[in-house]
């Protein structure tokens, strides 16, 4: 069975370009999330779905994994299941010895590309900060904070319950608590 895997980084990005290239596959899995790690819902479903003799086909390695370590880990999972991997852009097929070798080379290039993008982003942020143009991420605002903060300080709810009600992480919650206490 030929299994296609498509990934875009955000909900707003389109998958059509990849889907057109993979139109002949028997089953298609589509993720709309970052490729920075392998904790992706459709990727995990695809890895559970594949069986011996299947072929996983992707448009490019960068759509499958962003680091050499993740790529080699995913390929190891597929290999242990006797599943081959094909990347159309790189003309790579792990059913051949040269394909296995090239997989490592292209994986390293994909990781280099990702690291270069992050470096350029950090450089751009540093320049914008030096010019006073970058203020950082916008604060998470929740109109319920005052009410929930009061409930928490009065001991009516726990910090964990407050975080859950606000849909905030622990660090965001305690940062806002600190800010609130400083303004009182």
Q: Give 100-119 pLDDT, tens digit per residue.
A: 888 778 778 877 888 898 89
Q: Give 154-174 pLDDT, tens digit per residue.
A: 999 999 999 999 888 898 899
For the annotated catalytic residues, the residue numbers are 9
| Residue 111 to residue 163: CA distance in whole angstroms | 35
Task: Decide if 20 contacts 39 (C-beta within 8 A).
Answer: no
CATH of span 2-117: 3.40.50.1390
Smallest CA-to-CA distance from 148 within 138, 132, 159 is with 159
| Residue 79 to residue 90: CA distance in whole angstroms | 19
Instruction: Write down the domain spans for the chain.
Output: 2-117, 145-183
| Residue 29 to residue 15: CA distance in whole angstroms | 11
On average, the pLDDT of the chain sits at 89
pTM: 0.60
| Residue 153 to residue 151: CA distance in whole angstroms | 6
């Amino acid at each position: 069975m030929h299994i296609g895997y498509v990934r875009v980084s955000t909900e707003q990005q389109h998958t059509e370009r990849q889907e057109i290239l993979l139109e002949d596959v028997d089953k298609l899995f589509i993720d709309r999330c970052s490729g920075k790690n392998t904790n992706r819902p459709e990727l995990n479903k695809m890895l559970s779905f594949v069986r011996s003799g299947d072929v996983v086909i992707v448009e490019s390695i960068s759509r499958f994994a962003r680091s050499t370590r993740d790529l080699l880990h995913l390929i190891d999972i597929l290999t242990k299941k006797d599943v081959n991997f094909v990347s159309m852009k790189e003309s790579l097929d792990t059913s051949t010895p040269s394909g296995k070798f090239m997989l490592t080379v292209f994986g390293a290039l994909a990781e280099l590309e990702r690291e270069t993008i992050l470096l350029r982003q950090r450089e751009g942020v540093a320049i914008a900060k030096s010019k006073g143009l970058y203020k950082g991420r916008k604060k998470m605002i929740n109109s319920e904070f005052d009410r929930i903060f009061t409930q928490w300080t009065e001991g009516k709810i726990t910090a964990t319950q407050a975080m859950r009600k606000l849909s905030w992480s622990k660090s965001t919650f305690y940062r806002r608590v600190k800010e609130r206490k400083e303004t009182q």
